[in-house]
Amino acid sequence: MSFPFSLEFLATAIGSLPHTDSKCACDLVQNQLRDIPAWPQLPKRDFRESIYAQYSRGFPGVVVEPDRMYVDRTRDLTPELERLYTQYLNSDIDAHSLNGDYAAGFAQFKNLNFGSVRAVKGQVVGPVSWGLVMTDQDRRSILYDEMLADAIPKHLRLQAMWQERELRRLCPETILFVDEPYLASFGSAYVQVSRDQAILMLEEVFAGIRGLKGVHCCGNTDWSLLLSTSVDILNFDAYNFAETLALYPTELRAFLDRGGIIAWGIVPVGDDEQVSRETVDGVTEKLKAAMIHVASKGIPFESLLESALITPACGMGTLSEGGAVRALELLNQVSERMRKDYA
């Protein structure tokens, strides 16, 4: 695997911002994420911009209300499922576009000029997380409905393909993250999904992505599951869970040997107070310590340096607008420090 640009601890973001004005959000992205800008999701602007509602359009039987979304299984979904499968077989991606009502940040992002960036980044919700959150009218996760579960990755693959096509109009190099927060509960009694099912669903979405494909999980999980897929970039919360990655040295080394990238989510975004009390020195040292710890398990430190991006630990939608600015400023400063220290 070869990449069209040097990684150099470049910074990007997960997706969400706390803004309600899409222009202000995109101005912040353009000012702060100058190498790899990521279009902003704006969940505070509208319920439909939550990552789960955002990718619901076009799924058979879906109903989106101001306080709830669900799949109505009381009606005959056969015609809608047949339409989805036809669109899937024909790669009819225009039927799965991101509507401006559901993604005002993306609509505004597409109007920006990105002449000198290394890549542009987008994101789509992961099939496991979406299938668990999306329920039927009786509040049963559709992931446990065999027919609907098969449709989930096909629907999200078309969403990813459409989004990537639009991003390529801004820059030829693209990164698309598949966000899987619920994989943090993988293996627990709350998530009854087999390893093979999770991998198959992820791979079906990945297969529609031509550029760099990443996975973001903001909690601890079985990292060997994700490392065994064809994913190019593993993004995790290195601020809180750095030691967990070191538990899988064999899988991690194989991932790096095939050219995999680790996106270290090192800037905390729990709340404004947490962001405000952190310093460049403190976060930089925490990142270095995390990398040294992983290297102590037999991973060449040089491989970690050569394969590193950095991000916030998770989305910034829960922060204030000022908190998001502070987090991105800190992210850029840590990026610059790491490049200086390991030039």
**Model confidence pLDDT, tens digit, residues 207-221:** 999 999 999 998 889
Measured between its terminal Cα atoms, the distance across the chain in Å is 23
Query: What angle do the packed helices 78-89 and 146-168 form, to 10 degrees?
Result: 40
Domain boundaries 10-341, corresponding CATH code: 3.20.20.210
Share of the chain above pLDDT 70, in %: 98
d(CA 184, CA 134): 17
Share of the chain above pLDDT 90, in %: 88
Q: Which residue has the higher pLDDT, 292 or 193?
A: 292
Q: Which pLDDT belongs to residue 67?
A: 82
- Mean of the per-residue pLDDT values for the chain? 94
Q: Are 54 and 64 in contact (CB under 8 A)?
A: no
pLDDT at 240 over 70: yes
Q: Which pLDDT belongs to residue 192?
A: 81
Q: Which pLDDT belongs to residue 219?
A: 85
d(CA 4, CA 246): 28
Q: Which pLDDT belongs to residue 4?
A: 64
Q: Which residue has the higher pLDDT, 116 or 321?
A: 321
Exposure pattern of 156-191 as b/e (b: 16+ CB <10 Å)? bbbbbbbbbebbeebbebbbbbbbbbbbbbbeeeeb
Q: Which pLDDT belongs to residue 115?
A: 80
The pLDDT of 5-28, averaged and rounded, is: 93
Q: Which pLDDT belongs to residue 187?
A: 67
d(CA 74, CA 207): 32
pLDDT band for position 191 (cuts 50, 70, 90): confident
pLDDT at 2 over 70: no
d(CA 273, CA 44): 20
Q: Are 185 and 129 in contact (CB under 8 A)?
A: no
Q: Which residues, 6 or more positions from 78, have their beta carbon under 8 angstroms from its beta carbon?
A: none
Q: Which pLDDT belongs to residue 3?
A: 63
pLDDT at 253 over 70: yes
For residue 310, CA distances in Å to 120, 215, 236, 342 come to 15, 14, 10, 14
pLDDT band for position 81 (cuts 50, 70, 90): very high
pLDDT at 136 over 90: yes
The pLDDT of 173-190, averaged and rounded, is: 86
Name the one residue in this structure whose structure tokens are 């470049």.
10
pLDDT at 186 over 90: no
